[in-house]
Amino acid sequence: MRCHGNGVNNNDFRRRDVAIATRKQEGGKMSAKKKDKVEENDESSKEEAEDEEERSSSSSSSSASSPRANPEDPVVQNIPESVDDFLRNFLRRLGLTRTLSRFELEWHGLARGGGGGGMFVPDALTHRQTLLEQLEAVRGDAEQLRKQVLESAQSLLRMQRESDYHRQQHRRLSEQKHVLIRDCKQLQEQLQDSEAALKRLRDKHEAALRTKTLLGLQKERAQRLPEPEPEPEPEKPSRKPPPSSPSKAPEPCGLPAAPEKSSFQLFCSFRAHQLPISGIAPHPARPLLASASDDRTWRLWDLPRSGEKVGRVLGGHSDWLSGCSFHPEGSRLATTSGDKTVRLWDFSAGRCVLLLAGHSQPTWGSSFHSGGHVLASCSADGTSRLWDASCGCCRLILRRHGASVNSVAFLPCSDLLLTSSADKTVVVWDGRLGVSTTTFRGHLHPCNHAAFSPTSNAVASCDSRGTVHLWDTRKPAAPTGIVDAGPHAANQVAFNQSGKLLAVASGDCLVRLVEAESCGVSTLTGHRRSVQSVTFDLQGGTLMSAGSDGLINVWL
């Protein structure tokens, strides 16, 4: 038992000795490590002190050599460190001086033995950093290229739009160029015709001057004669009362009849169309009345009875009708329309026999020459045209107005033509030469209609403000009379056969009667909407009016 206990104690002693020895060894090792660390710290502090001395010496030398250098702007170059320097710095920062010295020995030994080439260690960190920088640069270039591509696409789209716009402008300018070339050719032709007409007028003027000079010479010669006594001889018949009495006979039966009937009463009223009536025209020989309407048809009515319809309703226009006019013989009727055409209808055939196309805008009115061989038309394109009523060809184009020509009318038994326009002027034309002879200026608003007096030199015109002007063709500078029928528009005017009474179709549902000499005004009521057209019969004792209510009123 004792031996066993002694054995156990011996083992314990041995274990204690081994533990103490190991502790001593570990303590020696730890002390050695501490010593190494202290030595390494001392060496590192010495090296840092040496580095600081070198830096201070270098800075002092640089300041002494270049005192004017600017220390605030140093030139810094990013030079990647080599592998061996990286390892040295790494070991120095960790304080492993012995490992550093061992590394130096092995590194220099390899360098002296020529084995440095086999120990090449690639600088992966630096290479990776370089690759990352290159990748970032490539990405930046790609983004810039993408932006440039987008900007190029937008620029291409904008250029395509500009190209389309310029192409349209070029096409429009080409069309305008062709139109201007055509107009220039027409103007050249008209200029040639005008030159020929001007030459004829000059010849006539010279002939008239010669005649006037001869007449003046004859007058002076007659005044120089010593016998002024023959003048009483023509006074003898003037003293005789019997011859003067029969000369007064035609006056009461002709002209005074119209002024005496200055008051009219509604005789009958009938509905001619369901839509507004734009114009009416009396037959030149029979008691018939033609009406044109916005329903694209025209009708013929028997007057002055209760408005019986004669014949069937005729229609052929593709748009509203603006007016109508009879041939002097009464066998044909001309109609104007918003479809830019003028149609000529034959009563015996019961159909359209001529289609006159040439205006570029809606046609507003028409008028036959007293001979019946020429038809005049006016249009919103600012022109009036003279047509051959037999073949339908355009003989002459009258261009002077600067806006829509709203009415046209021939002076009875004359080649003079009267037009009114939205440019606020009224013009008298010579239909043979196509030149304007007189221009009336005085309206302040667009003119709607103008008419000749059948028996005098008077002209009446009306405008969209309701103002009616009376003119004398011999004194066109100023109107002879002004009647204010406003503020609503005056749509049409018409003289009776004596020329002393003027009917005005007003936009306020009234028909106004104006005495040409005194400018006295009376009114007739019977329409429920705007009155569009008025006219007298051939005797002047019957007045017809039509309006937007579709009614035709007959006044006696």
Tell me the H-state helices in 380-461.
none
Nearest one of 438, 409, 404 to 424, comparing CA atoms: 404
Radius of gyration of the chain (CA): 58
- Residue-level pLDDT at 455: 86
Query: What DSSP string runs through 480-512?
Result: SEEEE--SS-EEEEEE-TTSSEEEEEETTSEEE
Separation between Cα atoms, residue 324 and residue 313, nearest integer Å:
14
Domains defined for the chain, CATH in brackets: 275-555 (2.130.10.10)
What secondary structure, in 3-state letters, does 4-58 show? HHHHHHHHHHHHHHHHHHHHHHHHHHHHHHHHHHHHHHHHHHHHHHHHHHHHHHH
CB 446 within 8 A of CB 455: no
Half-sphere exposure of 166 (CA within 13 A, CB side): 6
Pairing of strands 308-315, 321-326: unpaired
- Residue 186's alpha-carbon distances to 69, 135, 193, 486, in angstroms, are 89, 75, 10, 41
Instruction: Retrieve residue 552's tokens.
Output: 């035709």
Which residue shows structure tokens 């250098």?
Answer: 69
State the sign of the Cα–Cα–Cα–Cα dihedral 86, 89, 93, 94: positive
- Residue-level pLDDT at 246: 34
Burial class (CB in 10 A: 0-12, 13-18, 19+), 532: buried
Separation between Cα atoms, residue 347 and residue 330, nearest integer Å:
9
- Residue-level pLDDT at 437: 93
Q: What is the enclosing helix (H) or strand (E) of 155?
A: helix 124-224
- Residue-level pLDDT at 247: 33
The one-letter amino acid code at 439 reads T
The one-letter amino acid code at 214 reads L
Query: What DSSP string runs through 455-484?
Result: SSSEEEEEETTSEEEEEETTBTTS-SEEEE
CB 245 within 8 A of CB 529: no
Separation between Cα atoms, residue 531 and residue 357, nearest integer Å:
29
CB count in 10 Å sphere of residue 339: 18
DSSP, collapsed to helix, strand or coil, labels residue 254 as: coil
CB 375 within 8 A of CB 394: no
- Residue-level pLDDT at 260: 47
Q: What is the enclosing helix (H) or strand (E) of 197?
A: helix 124-224
CB count in 10 Å sphere of residue 81: 13
Q: Kindly state the DSSP code that residue 81 receives in the 8-state scheme.
A: P
Predicted TM-score of the model (pTM): 0.55
Burial class (CB in 10 A: 0-12, 13-18, 19+), 86: middle
Pairing of strands 435-441, 447-452: unpaired
Tell me the H-state helices in 225-271.
232-239, 241-247, 250-253, 257-260
Sheet with 458-463, edge to edge strand ranges: 447-452, 458-463, 467-472, 481-484
Pairing of strands 288-293, 481-484: unpaired
- Residue-level pLDDT at 38: 52
The one-letter amino acid code at 150 reads L
Helices 97-113 and 83-94 pack at an angle, to 10 degrees, of: 160
Compute mean pLDDT per 10 residues along the chain, 556 residues long, and list them. 42 51 52 54 60 59 48 64 80 91 86 59 77 95 95 94 94 93 92 89 82 73 60 38 34 38 83 94 91 93 68 80 95 95 90 93 96 95 95 93 96 93 96 92 96 92 96 92 92 93 95 93 94 91 94 92
The answer to whether the peptide bond before residue 232 is cis (omega within 30 degrees of 0) is no
Pairing of strands 277-282, 308-315: unpaired
Separation between Cα atoms, residue 429 and residue 439, nearest integer Å:
9
- Residue-level pLDDT at 207: 80
State the sign of the Cα–Cα–Cα–Cα dihedral 249, 252, 254, 255: positive
